[in-house]
Structure formats: structure tokens, C-alpha cells
Structure 1
Amino acid sequence: MATAANAFSIGSILSAPDALVVPRVQRPYSWESTETKELWDDLIEFHKRYPGNTIKSREYFMGAIVGQRKNDDDGSFVEILDGQQRLATLTILLSVLRDQLHSENPSGAHKIQIGSIEKLGSLDGPAKYQLTLNKIDRAYFRQEIQEYPGGEVKESNIASHILIKKAKDFFNRKFTEFASEEKCSTVDFAHRLYGIVTQNLRIVFIESDNWDDVSDIFERLNDRGKGLSTLNLLRNHVIAKSPVNQQDDIEYAWEQVYSLSNSASKVDTFLRHVWITYRGDVKKQSLFKEIKAVMASPDAPERLRDPFKFSYNLASDAETYKRILASQHEDAGCARWLRAIQTLGATSLLPATLSACDDWLDVKSQDFLLRALVVTFVRHSIIAGGDSSTLETAVYKVARDIRHGCSLEVALGTLRPLLRSDKQIEADFSTLSVPNSKSGYQRHILEELENHMSAAVKDPSSQPEKGPSGSSVLWIEHIYPQRPGKKWERWKEHEMLVNRIGNLTLVHNKLNASASNKPFDEKVDIYRESHVQLNAGLATFRSWTPQSVQRRQVALAKMAPQVWPRF
């Protein structure tokens, strides 16, 4: 048959003779609270916009569903290639309406079950359902959502199962809240929503019996704008093109990748970072097309061309990436720099970090390279205010070079041109101001200055009760307050000086609250009590003025080239 596209109501799709089946190439249920809330809000807004019978001729378009019509021993069915998340979520909502009607209107509940969730079958045969999810979610979805009346369902820790249960609980809660606020009966409100979902919601159903045609439509719909993530597109492509006897193992490898996060954008970022380590910089919008083209090229290395090897290498990288994001490393020095990268929010460093932590050379080399990446980021991006694209070009080259086995010296040689001279770093640091929106920058700078100053102190009694690196005990404190009260005169240069490094310090959580907007002469005693070396010199100031900020910052600037040294 030729490719066909027709508009249908959701009710007609869910009650059609042919069952809807989600194939194994599709990822598990992934809608989070943002998507379910958006759907609920849209339905309520539609309900309010068209009161009473005025709603009958109105339509609400929900996009397109792409499917391939197939046959097996049980007859024909439609394999859903795109749109399963919407269909699954609407089925969850219908199950909530069914359960809400269960006690007061059992016949209505039965109508929802048989009309939209379960197919009408024989008396002695097993129940058959309108929608069948993929292998991972199938059994749980049936027990939690589709079976009626349902029994006790064992709690699951699988991410997609948790999201299914969260969606169900969300719709139950919002239904009860709205019915109470609007003072309408459960039965009337359930019937109203059921009518909107099954009659007013409409989709364009695109179908064909040719896989290549359907797959092409699917990719065109999702490889631009809002749609499936790049990782979803790639997973579907890899599994569909792999031998049947390898699909279980490949699917397992991809589940390890998805375990990184429930957020599609975060996992897509990981995929881009991995690809940078192999091929260099690539923009997010063209990532799927480039990977697909490379996998199809006979000249590509086997680890990128073979679906099995590609998937398992990706799963291995996902485990390494997960440890990086958690700042976990067998070596304490490496772990320290991983924490620094997270504190800074320096995502541009992650591709090179991934390459370095993936069995590259020895731990000593990894530690040196990670430190060099952090130093480069601080000197180039924060202190000197260098261009981010220049940094990315260098770091992405390092990522690729390391993946291909370069030496430590080659990697360092790529980064050195970004370091600036020590004289320039000291001059730039002496006027450095870091806004609160970059609190990670503030924290890293203050922590590293404190580490440097503390290392020179031999008396352990003068040390803070916990070292600053990775500490949640030490808080960032503005000496001249962000919102000066009656005890502080607001400086004319307030905006320019309040976030200068010379005006920032670290204090213990318990001391930060007590310092607050107190005058400087009272704050000094609190700073002294903290035993933080950054605060040791504050007692030499009789008052705190704009000149004091500059004097302190110049002193700190002299340390900057030592704290973030050239390599």
C-alpha cells in the first residue's frame, strides 16, 4: 500500500480492530511531570473554553502518529513507530477516569475499559488490549493501568515504571482537585473528560506497509524541532538495522545508556560528547544524521559501524560518564578535579574528561590532564573572559586526540595557548567580578584560594572544621551585603563591587546566617571564629570600603598564577 495520512479521533484509534503495538526498537515510557502537566492543562483549558454542548464540533490537534501495518498469526496489527508516548499517557488518563467511575458509575467504567483500553474478546480467552507497550513496560503497564479491576502491583524501581505510576498518580490528584474546586460530581467530570479525550482530541495517522517509508517519515518528524531525542532516534535506527539474534543484547546495552538520566536532553548531551571524542565537534541539530552516515560508511572503523560494538562501547562510555558526573574516581586527585568541573558547571570539558578517564595512560597522567583542563577553563574563560568557542575548539581536539591514543604532552600542547601570561592573569584577576548567576565560579575560586592558603598554615587548630573542596559546610559570604540595610550605607558603585572577588569569602553555614547584614566591626569576630584562612586578613581592616575590596583583591590576585599555574 502507498503511504497514507488521515485524521482520526483518539477514540477511533483506540477502538480500532487492529491492535496498536510498540516495537522493541522504541524506548520505554519517558513522559515526565512536565509533559503530563502540559497535557492536563491543555485539556482543562479546552474544557473551559467550550462549555456545555458548544464543545461537540470542536477539535484539538495532538500531532501525528506514524505506524506500519503488519500481520502475524493472530491477524493484522499496527506497529507504532512514533506517538507511543502520547497514546500511553492518554491510556493512563482513561484508566484514571475508569477508576474514578468504578464505585458510582460501574457501567461507565466498563464502557471506558472495553471501548478504549481492552478489546472485546471471547469469554474464556485471555484479555487483549488496544495498546501493547514494548518488552520492558508491557507487563507492568498491563498490571498497573490496563487490567480492570486491578490487583496489587509490586513496586518497581525501573525508571519507566516509576514514570508510569507518577503519571497515574498525577492525573488522579488533578482530577480530584479540579472536581472539588469546580464543585462538580465525579461522574459528570469523568464523562466530560472522556468525551474530550475520545472525541475532540484528533491526530493525523500516517501509515504504510513499507518499513523504509515509515522510518523515513519518522526521522523527518523527529530530527527537527520538538520530537524524539537524538538518542531515541539513534537507538531505533541501530536496533532496526541489527541482526535479530543480537537485538536482545543491543537493547540491554542501550538500557545502560538510558540509566544515565530520565532527562532526554541530558542523555543527548552525553551522546554528543561521546561523538566529539571520536569525530570532533558536531552540532546537536546534525548529530543523528552524521552518526547515521558514518555507521553506513564502509570506510568507518568497525567500532562505529557495527551496531553491536557501537552499542556496547556506548554503554561502557555511559558508565564512565556517570562516574564523572558523580565525581567518582579511584584516585583522590582525579576525584578532586572532577568535583571542580561539576562545581564550575564546565560541561565543555566533559568530552576530554571522558576520553581521559576511559583507560587512557596511567592515573598520574589522568590527574595532570584533568587539572590542566580546570586550570585552562579558569584562566581562559573566567579570569581572562576568553571566547567560549576558542576553548571548545581546543578541548574538543584534546578529546579526540586522547581517544586516538595521543601522549599527555600532545594534549597539554593544545591547551597551552589559552593560558595567558601570569602577569596578564594577575592583572585580570585584580578586577574580576563574578555574578551570583555564576555561583559555581565563585565557589571554585574561593575554595581553591582557601586550599592554597591553608596549605601554608602549619597549625591544625586554625584550620576550618572541614576542608572547602566539595564542602557543603562553607557558604559564600558577601562582606559588603548584597542588600545593605540600615547598618550599611549603600555604595555608589554597588553593582560593580558587590560581586568582586575581594568582597567574597567563605564562612560556615551556622555563621553565615548570623553575619547577615551586621556592620563590619561585628562581622570581623564572626570571620575570626570561622578559622578560614581567607578571612585571616580581614581583621587588619578597620572598616570595609570600596578601597578595602580593591586592596584585598589585589592581594588575592598575586596568588592566582600559583593557584591555577601554567603547565
Structure 2
Amino acid sequence: MYMDPQNLKLNDLLHSRLFRIPPYQRPYSWQTEHRRDLFNDLRTLYQKRQEFHFMATVVGVDNGPYLLGSDEYQQIDIVDGQQRLTTLVLLLRAISRQLSEPTLEKLLVKDDAHTLVLLQTNHDYNDHFINYVRYGKRPEVETADTLAERNIIEAIAEVESFVASWPATTGATLLELLALIKNRLRFVYYQLHDEKLVYTVFEVLNTRGLEVAWLDRCKAVLMGIAFEHAANQQEMVQELHDIWQRIYECIGLRQGLSSESLRFAATLITHDHTSRTLSNSDALDTFRKRAANRPIETLALSRFLQKVARALDSLLHDQQKAAVTKIAHARLLAVAITLRFEGTHRERLLTQWEHVSFRIYGMCGRDSRTRVGDYVRLACQIYASEGNAAAYKDAMQALIDLGSGEFSAAKAVTELRQANCYEGWEEELRYFFYARERWLEAKHGYKPSAVAWDKIWSDSAVRSIEHILPQNPVQGSAWQDLYDQATTAQQGIQHWLGNLVVIPPAVNSRVGRKPYGEKQVEYAQTGLAITRELADKYSEWTLEQIEEREQKLIEWAELYWGDLVP
């Protein structure tokens, strides 16, 4: 196929074109580090007085002319390059808020005061992008419902900060910045007239070493096969569009640029007894080979990828399990269980998975190199099973075996004894006490303390961790005497499990270094079962109480995180 790419300045790229991002494309996924690289490139470009800077390749499908007043525009669906283009449009809008430049305003918002140069409606359900470009409204991050929206909001804040700092950091004016962006940033632009050609372009770009996201490559491979081999091409392509729209919507909630759903999906369907999650390239090859010359398989693979993305999203959505979902192969195993089993069987297997994973990576503190092959092979075995009662019993026994020996509950809890359960263990500690909270609520019939826990989960773990014996007591206070005794008798006892509890951050800030009697009153009023238990049981706080409470918590942990009955 012959391609005639154009080498265009940003100003020329945006001139006489209206860009749209189709819903079956991924959402805006750039994060702070990507925008920081762009800002650094701009500073370097200005300081070194280079002639131009190559930004990216942009691929678009021409959807014909669009008449707006007396001006005619080309309507372009962006299929590659949207991340940089979206960020640059936001950057131009931030500059226009500081300058009175009619030509810049017209470049971004056309004469009807409504039509935008970039219609970024893709997975931005609250119209943060549109309202900023059209009206200059800067949204608050709390209004984001998805990761894609959060990325857009953070991008708006960061482009405005960059624009505000430009004169001081470079000695240049904003007009010079505007001229640089419009005239010295260059793009290689491919304008296609048939969507079918898009996927050939992706293959060409890959062979030329230009970066294309792995999920986008996978979609391109499957769409290309559908275009080339499907008998009912139009119907199949539309169905693929719909599926990939849902895939990108799901991934945009929490997963961003990650290709983990692709790697997980390919790993689970491979026939090899693999001991690791497949790489991006191997995952793409797996999908390519399965769909080769079989257009109907493109639908099956896309639907399966959507199921994996949803299962992974559900796992990441459960913030309370962050302490056990941070290990990739542990996530893979949980996804396999979710996909293969239903109802009580799924619930019990996920509970056992949670117990084993917390013992290994939480209590025992093992890193991501531990038990990789065991987790991946078990995930593949579970997904390959029938998902019936016999498969459930086998899976449960395999999970029990996975956490046996050095990672049994009896062995794991010994890691907590007289250990620093604070520094480097903050996320795990919050998870530990949340489990204790649920157990106490069930045991005593307490009403769940949703409000208090919402405040705890919405902030960093460290801000909710309370040292009953303060880390830095006031000189001359009763706490100082106890602290001195602890330093002499038991080094680091202030970080022992028995001296720690989780409370809402505002309460944590308030109680601080207060005497225990005042803390006790506060503990009784937090609405939490874990602090009510503390206030009810202990009327004073000494080294003996710390040791006693640690022992009680460790005994409970051994039972709570033990193995389920198969």
C-alpha cells in the first residue's frame, strides 16, 4: 500500500480540520510523567533554539467536508496520536486564557462559539474537556468519575501550572511559547479515506519502530482480519467497534494505559503450561495466530478480552483489597477464579485466594518474585477447568497448597510478633484492621461504620494510622516516661502491632499526643468497632498493654487468615 505522509506544523495540522475521537478508541490516558516529558521538550526546544521538534505520528480517517458558515473543514476521526493532540489543545487553551489572541481562540473554538477543533467526547462523560476548551471552566478532581476523567482534570491543572511558570523558568513570553507550539512542533500526518487502511498503517508504523500502544495494536490486528476476511464486513466491523468501545470504557475507569488485560487474556487461553504472564508481544502474537483467517474469532477474542478487563476492573475497584492486589500474578489468579466460577464457589475461592496472598505478600513480606510460576500455572489450570463442583474442590485444595509450609497461617503470624508493623507496611496495616473491623461487626452485631471507613479509604494509609503511644511525645509528659521505658526495654515498641490502630485521618490529627484518657474518649466515639474495642478493654496504656494487645491480635490473625474448609 502506498502512503503519502505529510510533515506538518501543529498550526497547519489544526487548520481547516475538525478532529473527533471515536468511542471505540481508548480514552485519554496520559499521566503526569507523560505531560512532564512534553513540558521539558518545550523548554529544551526554546532554550536550544532548535528549528523544530518531532512530536508524534497522527493517523486520521477523513469523514468528508463539514461546512460551518462560509468555512469548510475536513472531519477527521483520530485513530492514533490522540494523547499528544489532546494535551496540546489543552495547553493552547491554557495560553489563550492568559492572552487575548483572537486567532488562537478561533483555532480552538470556531465562529459559532460551539464547534471545537477537537471533539474529545470519548469516555469523558462529565464533559470536562469540552467545558474547559469552550468556556475555560476548570473542574475539580473530585468531580471525576473515571480514571480517564481524572487524567483530563489533572492535565488541565498541569498545563495551567506550566503556562504560569513559563516566563519565570525560561525568560520568554507566552507569545513566544505560543509561536513555538504552533510553528516548531511537527507531526507526520497520515490522512486515510478508508478505515480498512488504518490497520495496515498500524502494521507499517510498527515495522518502522514507532510506538503504538499494545491494546491499539491488538485492536488493529483483529479489525484488519475482519476487514480482509469477513463476508458480512460492515456488520462485523460495527460489532467489533461496539465491543472495543466497551473495552476502552472499562479500562478507562481504572487501568489507564495498562495492557494487563491483554496479557492476562492471552495467558489464560494459551495451551502452554506457562510459568509467567505473557509479555505484550507474546500476547499479541497469541491473538493474531488464533484469529488468522478466521474473522468470527476476532469477535470471540474481543469479547473475551472485554470479560477479562471487567474482571480486572472489579478487582481494582475493591480498594479494601489493595494490599493483596498489588502483585500482578495474584491479580491473574483472582481474574481466573472470577471468570470460571460463580456464586458461593467463586466467593469462597476468592476468600481463600485473599487469605493466602495476604499471608505471602503481606504478613511474610515477600516481593513480586515469589511463587510467580505457582500462581500463573494455577490460574491457567482453573480457567481451563469446567468450573463445576469437582473443579471447585480441586481449585480450593490447590489454593490451600499454595499457602502451605512457610506461608501457613501459623508461620505467617510469627512475622508480626515484635515487628515494625508501621514503616513500609502502612497499606497492609490498614487492610489488617479493616478485616478486624468486619470480624468485630459480625461477632457483636455492630452496624457497619461506612462513613468512618470512607474517610479512611479516601486518604493515604499513613494519615489514618494512630500510634497509641505517640512516636514523638511531648517532653515532660507521661507519654515521655513510657517512651523512655519502651526505648530501654523494647526498642521500637511504638511500631509494634499492639500499639497501632486505624482511625479517620481527622481524628488521628486531633488526638496526636494527647494523654491516653483523652484518647480513650475519642476512640469510643469514632464509630469504629476496632477503636471501641480498644476503649472498652483498656483504661490505661502501658508496655504490658501493648504486649497483651499484640498477642490477642496475632492469635486472632492466625484464625482469621487461616485456610477455609474445602
Q: Same fold (TM over 0.5)?
A: yes
Aligned-pair CA distance for 1:375: 1.0
1:291 aligned residue (283, 299, 308)? 283
Structure 2 Cα separation of the partners of residues 365 and 566 of structure 1? 15
For residue 501 of structure 2, give the secondary structure of its aligned residue in structure 1: strand
Aligned-pair CA distance for 1:373: 0.7
- The answer for the alignment partner of 1:373 in structure 2 is 353
* Runs of 5+ unmatched residues, structure 2: 67-73, 228-232, 458-463
Structure 2 Cα separation of the partners of residues 6 and 158 of structure 1? 38
Q: Which amino acid aligns with 2:425?
A: K
2:14 and 2:117 in contact (8 A); partners too: yes
For residue 62 of structure 1, give the secondary structure of its aligned residue in structure 2: strand
Structure 2 Cα separation of the partners of residues 32 and 264 of structure 1? 12
- CA gap 1:266/1:274 in 2 versus in 1, 3 angstroms: farther
For residue 259 of structure 2, give the secondary structure of its aligned residue in structure 1: helix
Q: Which amino acid aligns with 2:245?
A: E
1:317 and 1:358 in contact (8 A); partners too: yes
- CA gap 1:87/1:300 in 2 versus in 1, 3 angstroms: closer
Structure 1 Cα separation of the partners of residues 65 and 104 of structure 2? 31
- CA gap 1:387/1:544 in 2 versus in 1, 3 angstroms: same
Structure 2 Cα separation of the partners of residues 471 and 171 of structure 1? 28
Aligned-pair CA distance for 1:229: 3.2
- The answer for the alignment partner of 2:247 in structure 1 is 257
Aligned-pair CA distance for 1:415: 2.0
- The answer for the alignment partner of 2:404 in structure 1 is 419
- The answer for the alignment partner of 2:299 in structure 1 is 308
- CA gap 1:550/1:201 in 2 versus in 1, 3 angstroms: same
2:29 and 2:83 in contact (8 A); partners too: yes
- The answer for the alignment partner of 1:429 in structure 2 is 416
Cα deviation 1:251-295 (Å, max 9, x = unaligned): 1211111222266646523333344433476878832x2233223
1:32 and 1:167 in contact (8 A); partners too: no
Calculate the TM-score normalised by the size of structure 1.
0.68
Aligned-pair CA distance for 1:360: 1.6
For residue 415 of structure 2, give the secondary structure of its aligned residue in structure 1: helix
- The answer for the alignment partner of 1:241 in structure 2 is 225
For residue 369 of structure 2, give the secondary structure of its aligned residue in structure 1: helix
- CA gap 1:519/1:536 in 2 versus in 1, 3 angstroms: closer
Structure 2 Cα separation of the partners of residues 396 and 170 of structure 1? 40
- CA gap 1:534/1:437 in 2 versus in 1, 3 angstroms: farther
Structure 2 Cα separation of the partners of residues 389 and 300 of structure 1? 35
2:291 and 2:297 in contact (8 A); partners too: no
Structure 1 Cα separation of the partners of residues 293 and 394 of structure 2? 23
1:492 aligned residue (453, 475, 487)? 487
Structure 1 Cα separation of the partners of residues 27 and 440 of structure 2? 51
Structure 1 Cα separation of the partners of residues 325 and 208 of structure 2? 32
Count matched residues: 513
- The answer for the alignment partner of 2:470 in structure 1 is 481
- The answer for the alignment partner of 2:264 in structure 1 is 273
Structure 2 Cα separation of the partners of residues 536 and 99 of structure 1? 55
Aligned-pair CA distance for 1:160: 11
2:60 and 2:192 in contact (8 A); partners too: yes
Cα deviation 1:122-152 (Å, max 9, x = unaligned): xxxx9xx998889969xx99x969x9xx899
Structure 2 Cα separation of the partners of residues 566 and 160 of structure 1? 35
- The answer for the alignment partner of 1:403 in structure 2 is 383
Q: Which amino acid aligns with 1:539?
A: Y
- The answer for the alignment partner of 1:503 in structure 2 is 499
2:563 aligned residue (560, 563, 566)? 566
Aligned-pair CA distance for 1:370: 1.3
Structure 2 Cα separation of the partners of residues 37 and 322 of structure 1? 25
Cα deviation 1:291-332 (Å, max 9, x = unaligned): 332233359998x981112222333443444444444xxxxx
- CA gap 1:33/1:556 in 2 versus in 1, 3 angstroms: closer
Q: Which amino acid aligns with 2:563?
A: R
Structure 2 Cα separation of the partners of residues 176 and 71 of structure 1? 34
Q: Which amino acid aligns with 2:428?
A: Y
Matched, 1:350 2:331: yes
Cα deviation 1:417-445 (Å, max 9, x = unaligned): 32334542443332343335432311222
2:337 and 2:349 in contact (8 A); partners too: yes
Aligned-pair CA distance for 1:450: 4.6
- The answer for the alignment partner of 1:555 in structure 2 is 552
Structure 2 Cα separation of the partners of residues 441 and 566 of structure 1? 19
2:5 and 2:190 in contact (8 A); partners too: yes
1:281 and 1:396 in contact (8 A); partners too: yes
1:544 aligned residue (542, 545, 550)? 542
2:32 aligned residue (25, 31, 34)? 34
C-alpha RMSD of matched pairs (Å): 5.5
Q: Which amino acid aligns with 2:511?
A: A
1:520 and 1:544 in contact (8 A); partners too: no
1:4 and 1:208 in contact (8 A); partners too: no
- The answer for the alignment partner of 2:513 in structure 1 is 517
For residue 560 of structure 1, give the secondary structure of its aligned residue in structure 2: helix
- CA gap 1:343/1:266 in 2 versus in 1, 3 angstroms: farther
1:344 and 1:440 in contact (8 A); partners too: no
1:503 and 1:549 in contact (8 A); partners too: yes
Cα deviation 1:523-557 (Å, max 9, x = unaligned): 455556666464168527x6523x65344323332
- CA gap 1:70/1:380 in 2 versus in 1, 3 angstroms: closer
Alignment of 1:136-215 (within 5 A): 173=160, 177=164, 191-203=175-187, 214-215=201-202
2:9 and 2:186 in contact (8 A); partners too: yes
